[in-house]
Amino acid sequence: MEKKRKGILLKGIAASPGIIIGRAVVLNKEKVNVESYPINADKVDKEIADFKRAIATVKRGLRKLSEDVSKRLGPEYARIFEAQSMIVDDQIINSKVVELIEKEKLNAAYIYYQQIDAVIKQLSKSSDPYLKERILDINSVCAKLISVLQGVKKSTVGYFKGPTVVVARDLTPGDLLGFSVRKKVGFATGLGGVTSHTSLLAKSLNLPAVVGLGSTVEKVNTGDNVIIDGLTGRLYINPGSETLKYYHLRQRFLSDLFRQFLVLRDQPAQTKDGYRIKILNNIELPSETAKVIKYGAEGIGLFRTENLFLTDNDFPDISKQFRIYKTILKRMGDCPVIIRTFDLGGDKFTSSKVKAIDPNPFLGWRAIRFCLDRPDIFKTQLKALLKASVYGNLEIMLPMISNLDELIETKELIQQCQDELAKEKAMFKKKIPLGIMIEIPSAVMIAEYLADEVDFFSLGTNDLIQYALAVDRTNEILSHLYQSFHPAVLKMIEQTIIAGHKHNIRVGICGEFAADPYGVILLVGLGIDEISVNYQATGMVKQLIRNIDKKRARAIARMACRKKTALHVEEFLRKKVKLYFPSLVPLVDFMRGANNG
């Protein structure tokens, strides 16, 4: 009998809140190992038949997964498996594999792997994170098909019946959607950051997650007893009895906390001294509107339209976009819905029409730059938004504005779209609020000029922090340098709010900074007008705001902005919360993971 390993604590990045106490299932621990071997001439037909059967088997599995996900989460979530099925059914690759089996008389698994590997090497020339996720999808499909060909049964999420933690070096959005059909499942990965696409999707799917564990994930074996704490970024392997007891209590406390938050659903986010802040939600997909309403947000502060490419390889036409925007607006009624235009680069399109390799997508051809360079693509989106505007309270937001020229050019393009739609006698609202993301330091520096041209600002702190501190937010090696409370970041937030209010426009925030209890207190003190967070954080933000007063929060924020390091800021905030808002200490400590055993 194998001796049970001693308990191990791994520390990563808290990516999605929640606690799972269960068993580990390790995925992708080993690379696909495919060796070549010759096929006798009289066995070639059988090898080809086996290859085709393997394709059919994988497609059946993906179809079943698609049906399960569609039933539980909605059809828009399930479409990613249709895209994976298209990868399996790629006629160009599959025909080439059959041709090479006949010509070279080698095994199908080896030839298929070589063909897929060539495609991946070509795509890997880009460092674009969205394209990397597409590569992960291709790898996932390849591994499935080769496993069928080799008769190998790999660990799956269904390996255990109870609460499960999936552990892998990395996971795709498709992986998350696939195992989200189960209850009580979370995940831990070696790669990723709190603002990576997978982490954001995990929040939307309510999957507890810890990311950025690096190579330490290799210490986990399938079958290990584990605890994942998505609030603190901890993963325990074979925890002791005291740790288990502590976490069972912590789980119950979290459940009670969320029940308390639901009580606040219809209550305003208003400080003790009467300062009112609008609470909105960030959403990834249209079906999340039900959660926005359920948890008591007052509207949508960010819909990321680039997620239309979660399942599409090409640009969605005006009809598809119109239907999606219309659906969201109708579901939200009179509540404001801020829809951000595409924040993506040319690499996200794999069709030949727009294919381009950008060596540095974070600083390169993306977002508003890409859209202005491709007005045909941008105008399609703008027209779809304009046509949908009559179905609700639409506001349009532009990402990655770095100068005034980009903003002026975009406004001219919007006017062109309005003129063209008017000639077509299409219905649309003439006056739609227009805002911009403040996520580049240059935009902060010229915020007063930009404020004259827009109706609102929204602080995109996820990117603002990485650009201000020169830290790639998806790089786990640099995660310790990605400091939300760096004094430079606080001063940029303060400067943006001052500039917006000076020009009588509202200032909101839609970054992860706003989901941190300390961040909420600072934002109240700095005078933020709107806070947009994931639906899970709605109740927490309301409870915090309703238990503080703006006067003290303002004094705290001003002093915090004068601190010299992020550590000094956090230490200062810890003391002030304890002094001025003692009733909030248990909530703040719990959400931030203080004193965790």
Residue/partner pairs of 440-445 with CB below 8 Å, 24 or more apart: 440/400, 440/401, 440/402, 440/464, 440/467, 441/467, 441/468, 441/492, 442/402, 442/403, 443/401, 443/402, 444/492, 444/495, 444/496
DSSP letters, 277-327, are EEEEEEESSGGGHHHHHHTT-SSEEEEEGGGGGSS-SS---HHHHHHHHHH
Q: Which of 68-77, 85-94, 546-555 has the lowest average pLDDT?
A: 68-77
Q: With a cut of 50, say whether residue 239 has pLDDT above it.
A: yes
**Residues facing residue 11 across a β-bridge:** 234
3-state helix vs strand vs coil in the chain, percent to 5: 55, 15, 30
Region 135-147 average pLDDT: 84
- Pick the catalytic residue from 371, 417, 510, 561: 510
pTM of the predicted protein model: 0.81
Question: HSE (CB half, 13 Å, CA atoms) of 172?
Answer: 22
Distances in Å between the Cα of 571 and the Cα atoms of 491, 519, 523, 560, 577 are: 18, 13, 17, 10, 10
pLDDT per residue over 320-379, tens digit each?
Answer: 999 999 999 999 999 999 999 998 753 344 343 444 444 455 556 778 998 999 999 999
Region 184-196 average pLDDT: 81
Burial class (CB in 10 A: 0-12, 13-18, 19+), 503: middle
Q: How confident is the model at residue 315 (pLDDT cuts 50, 70, 90)?
A: confident
Amino acid present at 530 = E
Q: With a cut of 70, say whether residue 263 has pLDDT above it.
A: yes
Fold of the CATH domain 264-592: TIM Barrel (3.20.20)
Q: With a cut of 70, say whether residue 232 has pLDDT above it.
A: yes
Q: How confident is the model at residue 75 (pLDDT cuts 50, 70, 90)?
A: confident
DSSP letters, 404-455, are HHHHHHHHHHHHHHHHHHHHTT----S---EEEEE-SHHHHHTHHHHHTT-S
The percentage of the chain sitting over the pLDDT mark of 70, rounded to a whole number, equals 89
pLDDT of residue 364: 63
Q: With a cut of 90, say whether residue 194 has pLDDT above it.
A: no
Burial class (CB in 10 A: 0-12, 13-18, 19+), 49: exposed
Name which residue leads in pLDDT, 526 or 129: 526
Name which residue leads in pLDDT, 62 or 507: 507
pLDDT of residue 284: 86
Q: What is the distance between the alpha carbons of residues 309 and 1, in angstroms, rounded to a whole number?
A: 49
**Residues facing residue 531 across a β-bridge:** 279, 509
Greatest CA separation for the chain = 85
Name which residue leads in pLDDT, 140 or 333: 333
Region 166-177 average pLDDT: 83
Two domains, one topology: 8-27+156-255 and 264-592: no
pLDDT of residue 356: 45
Extract the runs of DSSP E, i.e. beta strands, from 352-411.
393-398
pLDDT of residue 509: 98
Domain residue ranges in the chain: 8-27+156-255, 41-150, 264-592
Averaged pLDDT of the chain: 88
pLDDT of residue 405: 97
Question: HSE (CB half, 13 Å, CA atoms) of 340?
Answer: 29
Neighbours of 586 (CB within 10 A): 12
Q: Which of 308-322, 393-407, 556-570 has the lowest average pLDDT?
A: 308-322
Q: How confident is the model at residue 554 (pLDDT cuts 50, 70, 90)?
A: very high
Q: With a cut of 90, say whether residue 38 has pLDDT above it.
A: yes
Q: With a cut of 70, say whether residue 473 has pLDDT above it.
A: no
pLDDT of residue 67: 87
Q: With a cut of 80, say whether residue 290 has pLDDT above it.
A: yes
pLDDT of residue 1: 36
Nearest Cα to 462, choosing from 478, 480, 438? 438
pLDDT of residue 350: 39
Please state at what angle helix 550-560 crosses helix 566-580, rounded to 10 degrees. 160
- Pick the catalytic residue from 142, 197, 371, 561: 197
pLDDT of residue 407: 98
Region 304-318 average pLDDT: 74
CATH superfamily, domain at 8-27+156-255? Phosphohistidine domain (3.50.30.10)
pLDDT per residue over 410-432, tens digit each?
Answer: 999 999 999 999 999 999 999 99
Region 37-58 average pLDDT: 95
Q: Which of 27-31, 170-174, 585-589 has the highest mean pLDDT?
A: 585-589
Q: Clarify whether 503 is annotated catalytic.
A: no
pLDDT per residue over 14-26, tens digit each?
Answer: 888 899 999 999 9
Region 110-137 average pLDDT: 78
Region 72-89 average pLDDT: 79
Q: Which of 182-196, 338-352, 535-549 has the lowest average pLDDT?
A: 338-352
What is the assigned CATH class of domain 41-150? Answer: mainly alpha
Q: Which of 50-64, 95-109, 232-246, 461-475 has the lowest average pLDDT?
A: 461-475
